[in-house]
Each structure stands twice: as C-alpha cells, then as structure tokens.
C-alpha cells in the first residue's frame, strides 16, 4: 500500500456471500458462514493501517424478506460473532456498537449485544459499528422523532449529532463488494459526501490486499465538499 492518506471512518457493504457460495455449488448459508469468518481479518487490517472507525453492513431492514432459513442462519452467525468479540474485548481496545432497530431481534441476540456494548464501552482506540436490522431511512426517521419528542429543533446539525454513528463522524469512504453500484439504504444521511468505492470482488474474497486497494483509491481522491479547490 502506498503512503497516502488513510480514511478515519470507513463503511463497508459486505455483499456477495450468496453468489460466492452458488458459484461453488453450495448453499447460500455456506457463503454467509465464510463471509462472517472474513470479518475479523478485514477489521484487524483496517485498524492496523490506521482506520479509526468501521461501520459494517451486516443485515439490512429489508433483509428480513429473505427465506426464514437464511435469516435464521444469519442471526446465528451474528450471535457467534458477538460471542467471540466478548472473549477478545479486553485486549483489543475496540468499542462495539450495534446500529439498527432492536425491537425485531430475539431476546438472546439482544442480550449478547448488550454485553458487547457494555463490556467495551470504555474502549476508545477504535469504534466498530455493526449495522444490523439497519436502514438509513429508518435511522433518519427515528432521529427526527427523537428530536421532536424531546422538543428540540430539527436541523441538519441536530440530526447529524443524533445519528447512530455520530461518535465516528461521517464516513470518509464507503466500500461495496459484490459488484452492485448502489447503497441499498446504507448510511444515507452521513454518507452525503463519502467517497464511494465499488469492487466486483465478492465479500468472502475481500482480503487485506483488496482493502489496501480501496484505501489507495481513497487517497487519490479530491474531496471538494462543494467548494472550488
């Protein structure tokens, strides 16, 4: 990787697990399993090269419409991921936050999420946001309703300050694996000026080298934020 600027906050749409499995004549669930195993190496590498915050899209508010068997498997894998996270929390300095609606999640999943968030709440080295049952539109609606409920003014800044990922700042870079060129309801408000990086690589194959490529690409971008530079 060249010596270019490193994005502080990176969002990743981890797409392509199903197609990765189907290409191998396997069930989609197999792709989700291998995809979930891939999360750790990418997270570790991102933090190693100096990314401060990561927001990973694990399950969208629209993904409930998939077959029950697939949804159940995804929930099981997520629970396992959080359990593994707990066993490492003290040495990794990472603060974990799950962003998205809680009401639809099972009690045992909520329990392990609460444990992760509570045990890691004093960590400040890195922020790891897992978007689970997340939708960007739903997030904005929830924030606006919260502000109204508290009798506060709804402004560009008051919404920003109350977004689920506020502690991480706005994403500098959003990566989507799996060859689709869309956001699929991910970080719509905070992504207004994010640099976008799309790759055909399917999520289970997205490794350290692929992440370096995305970060290199970011380093070459000119961010203007509407100004003339």
| Residue 15 is a binding residue for Mg ion (CB under 5 A) | yes
Please report how many Cα atoms fall inside a 13 Å half-sphere around the Cα of residue 19, on the Cβ side. 12
Contact flags string 11-30 toward ligand IPE, x per CB under 6 A? --xxxxxxx-----------
Least Å distance, CB 46 to ligand IPE, is 17
Q: Scan residues 36-95 and list those touching ligand IPE (CB under 6 A).
A: 57-60, 63, 74
Alpha-carbon span 108 to 92, nearest angstrom: 24
CB within 8 A of 139, min separation 6: which ones? Answer: 99, 100, 163, 164, 188, 189
Helices (DSSP H) in the chain: which residue ranges? 17-23, 28-48, 68-92, 107-119, 136-149, 156-162, 208-219
* Whole-angstrom Cα Rg for the chain: 17
User: From the candidates 3, 17, 38, 63, which is the catalytic residue?
Assistant: 63
Residues numbered 166-195 forming contacts with ligand IPE, rule: CB under 6 A? 178, 180, 182, 184
**String marking each residue 132-171 x if it binds ligand IPE according to CB under 6 A:** ----------------------------------------
- Residue 92 annotated as catalytic: no
In the list ligand IPE, Mg ion, none, the entry touching 159 (Cβ below 5 to 8 angstroms by class) is: none
To the query of whether residue 123 is one of the catalytic residues in this protein, the response is no
Considering the complex, what minimum distance in angstroms separates the CB of residue 178 from Mg ion?
6
Residue 60 interacting entry, from ligand IPE, Mg ion, none, C-beta within 5 to 8 Å by type: ligand IPE
Phi, psi of 173 (to 5 degrees): -140, 130
Shortest distance (Å) from residue 45 CB to Mg ion: 23
- Nearest approach in angstroms of CB 15 to Mg ion is 4
CA-wise closest residue to 137 among 96, 177, 183, 171: 183
Cβ partners under 8 Å of residue 149, min gap 6: none
Q: Are the CB atoms for 132 and 110 separated by under 8 Å?
A: no
The catalytic residue positions are 15, 63
- Interface residues with Mg ion (CB under 5 A) are 15
């Amino acid at each position: 990787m060249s010596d270019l600027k490193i994005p502080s906050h990176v969002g990743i749409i981890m797409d392509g697990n199903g197609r990765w499995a189907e290409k191998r004549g396997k069930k989609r669930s197999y792709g989700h399993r291998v995809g979930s195993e891939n999360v750790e190496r990418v997270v570790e590498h991102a933090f190693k090269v100096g990314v401060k915050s990561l927001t990973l899209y694990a399950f969208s508010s629209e993904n409930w419409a998939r077959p029950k068997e697939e949804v159940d498997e995804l929930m099981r894998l997520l629970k396992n991921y959080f359990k593994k996270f707990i066993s490492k929390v003290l040495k990794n300095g990472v603060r974990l936050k799950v962003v998205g609606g809680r009401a639809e999640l099972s009690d045992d999943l909520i329990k392990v999420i609460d444990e992760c968030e509570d045990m890691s709440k004093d960590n400040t080295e890195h922020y790891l946001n897992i978007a689970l049952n997340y939708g960007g539109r739903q997030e904005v609606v929830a924030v606006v309703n919260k502000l109204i409920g508290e009798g506060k003014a709804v402004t560009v800044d008051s919404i920003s300050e109350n977004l689920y990922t506020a502690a991480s700042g706005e994403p500098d870079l959003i990566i989507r694996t799996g060859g689709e060129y869309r956001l699929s309801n991910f970080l719509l408000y905070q992504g207004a000026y994010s640099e976008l990086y799309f790759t055909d690589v399917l999520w289970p194959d997205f490794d350290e080298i692929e992440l370096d490529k995305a970060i290199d690409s970011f380093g070459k971008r000119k961010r203007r934020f509407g100004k003339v530079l």
